[in-house]
Amino acid sequence: MAAAGAVVLSVLALVQSVPRPLWLWGFLAAAYVVLEYSAVEVSDRLLVSSSVMVAFGAVVAMGRDSGVLTVAVMAALAVLHPSYLRVRRWQLPVANFGQLVVSTAVGAGLLALLLPGGPLTGGHIPRVLAAAVPAALLHDWVNFRLVAFMTRRFYPERELQPWSRMISQHVAMALLAVLGALCGMAYLLAGPVVLPLVGLTFVAGHAGFASYARLRRAHLDTVQGFVKAVEALDPYTRGHTDRVVYFAAATGQRLDMTPEQMERLRWAALLHDVGKLAAPPELVHSTGPLDEGEQAVLVRHMRLVEDLLAGIKVLAPVVEILDEYHRVGAGGEGRLEARVLAAADAFDAMTSTRSYRAAVTQLQAFARLRERSAALGTEVVEALIGTITDRGEVYGSPDAVSAAEVERLVKERVVRA
C-alpha cells in the first residue's frame, strides 16, 4: 500500500508543476492535516472528515497543472497522527500513507481532468461544481475499497457495512466536495479574502459538532451513572443492565433492525431498570421472588420514573418501548424492540444468581425462553439463542451439578437471614 502511494507521488512529481503560491499551499495543507484527524459526528454514527473540502478547493485554486500534486503531498503529510507517535504504531501510518495518497490523488485527478482548460471565470462555476460530484464519489469509493482491504487484513473480526448502504456518507462527501470547489472558485474570482471567512464559519460549525458529540457522550454517561446507582441498591443485579444492553443489541443486529430501532433499543435496555430508584426498598431488596401484587407495585413505582423520562422529547419513544416491555413481561403484546428487551432481560435474569435462587444453566435458560416464545416471538427467541451460540459464549451455571450446589448455598443463606 505504501509503495503504491510512493509510486503515485513520484509520478505526480514528474508530470505536475510545483504548487504556487506556496503560502496558499501551506495554509491549505495545515487545514487538510487538522481536518483529516478531526472527523465530526454530524448525526447518529455519521462521521465526516472535512479534509475532502480542502482537497477539492486546492485542486480548483491551484489549477490542473499542479492541483493533483498539491493535494497528494498534503495527504502524504497527514499520515502522522500524534496518537500513533505516542503508542509507536508504525504499521498504521505506513498503510494510511498509501491509502490517503492513492484515494486523494484519484479523486483530485478526476476533478482536474474534468476542469475546463485555461483560466477559470465566473461562467465556469456550474461545470466546476458538477465535476466535483463524480470526483468526490470516486475518491470515496477508492478510499472505502482500500480501507476495506486493510480492515480485512488486520482486523478480520470486524464487520464492514457495504459501500452501497452508506448513502448519507456519500451525500455528505459530495456536498463537502461541491463546497470545496466553490471555495476554490471564490478564491480565484474574489481573492484570498474569502479564506478566513469560509474558515471561520466552518471552524465554528466544526466546533459545534464536536461539542454536540461531547454532550451526547455526557448524556449517555449521566444515564449510565444513575443506572449504576440502581444496581448499587442490590448487589445481585450488579452488571445486569450492561449485559441486557449487550444481549439486546446483539439480538437486534441479528434481526437486522434499522439504526433508529437499534438506537431506541439500546436506550430502552439502558433505562429498563432505572425506575427502581423510586421503588419501595423492601421490594428492591426482597429475598424471595415477588408475588403478583408486589410485582404490580414495583412496576407502578418504576412507571413514575419512566413518566418523568417521557417528558424528554428524545426519550419519549424509548419510554413507549419500556411500557410495552412491562406488558410483554406480564404475558401481553409489544413491538419488536420491547420483545427483544424482554427476552434479553429474562435471559440475563435466569443465568444470574439472585438473593433467593441460583443461576440456571444456559441450556435450561434457552429451554425456558422457548417456552415463552408465544409472548416473546419465536424469531426473537431464536435470534437471541443463535447469537449467543454462534459467538460461543456461555452464561449461567456451567452444569446442573454446580447449579444445584449454588442453589443449596443460596437457600442456606436465606434460612440464615
- Which region among 8-16, 28-36, 146-154, 190-198 touches other proteins (by CB under 8 A)? 190-198
Task: Find the binding residues for other proteins in span 110-169 (CB under 8 A).
Answer: 122, 125
Binder among 13, 113, 189, 409 for other proteins (CB under 8 A): 189
Pick 91 or 211: Cβ nearer other proteins: 211
Task: Judge contact between 183 and 59, C-beta under 8 A.
Answer: no
Which value, to the nearest 10 degrees, does the dihedral of the CA atoms of residues 203, 209, 213, 218 take? 90
Binder among 113, 160, 207, 296 for other proteins (CB under 8 A): 207
Taking the C-alpha atoms of residue 281 and residue 303, their distance in angstroms, rounded to an integer, is 16
3-state class of 357 per DSSP? strand
Radius of gyration of the CA atoms of the chain, in A: 28
Task: Judge contact between 114 and 135, C-beta under 8 A.
Answer: yes
Binder among 39, 233, 349, 406 for other proteins (CB under 8 A): 233
- Least distance from other proteins to the Cβ atom of residue 65, Å: 23
Taking the C-alpha atoms of residue 141 and residue 147, their distance in angstroms, rounded to an integer, is 10
Task: Find the binding residues for other proteins in span 33-92 (CB under 8 A).
Answer: 40, 42-43
Task: Check residue 383 for interaction with other proteins (CB under 8 A).
Answer: no
Task: Judge contact between 236 and 355, C-beta under 8 A.
Answer: yes
Task: Check residue 178 for interaction with other proteins (CB under 8 A).
Answer: yes
Pick 11 or 277: Cβ nearer other proteins: 277
Task: Check residue 326 for interaction with other proteins (CB under 8 A).
Answer: no
Task: Check residue 208 for interaction with other proteins (CB under 8 A).
Answer: yes
Binder among 32, 97, 144, 209 for other proteins (CB under 8 A): 209
- Least distance from other proteins to the Cβ atom of residue 208, Å: 3
Total number of residues that touch other proteins (CB under 8 A): 63
Taking the C-alpha atoms of residue 192 and residue 66, their distance in angstroms, rounded to an integer, is 18
Q: CB 403: neighbour CB atoms within 10 A?
A: 19
- Least distance from other proteins to the Cβ atom of residue 232, Å: 6
Binder among 29, 132, 255, 305 for other proteins (CB under 8 A): 305
Pick 197 or 404: Cβ nearer other proteins: 197
Task: Judge contact between 19 and 70, C-beta under 8 A.
Answer: yes
- Bridge partners (DSSP) of residue 357 are 354
Secondary structure of 194-263 as H, E, C letters? HHHHHHHHHHHHHHHHHHHHHHHHHHHHHHHHHHHHHHHCCHHHCCHHHHHHHHHHHHHHHCCCCHHHHH
Task: Enumerate binding residues for other proteins (CB under 8 A).
Answer: 40, 42-43, 122, 125, 175, 178-179, 182-183, 185-186, 189-191, 193-194, 196-198, 200-202, 204-209, 211-212, 214-219, 221-226, 228-229, 232-233, 277-279, 281, 284-285, 301, 304-305, 308-309, 311-315
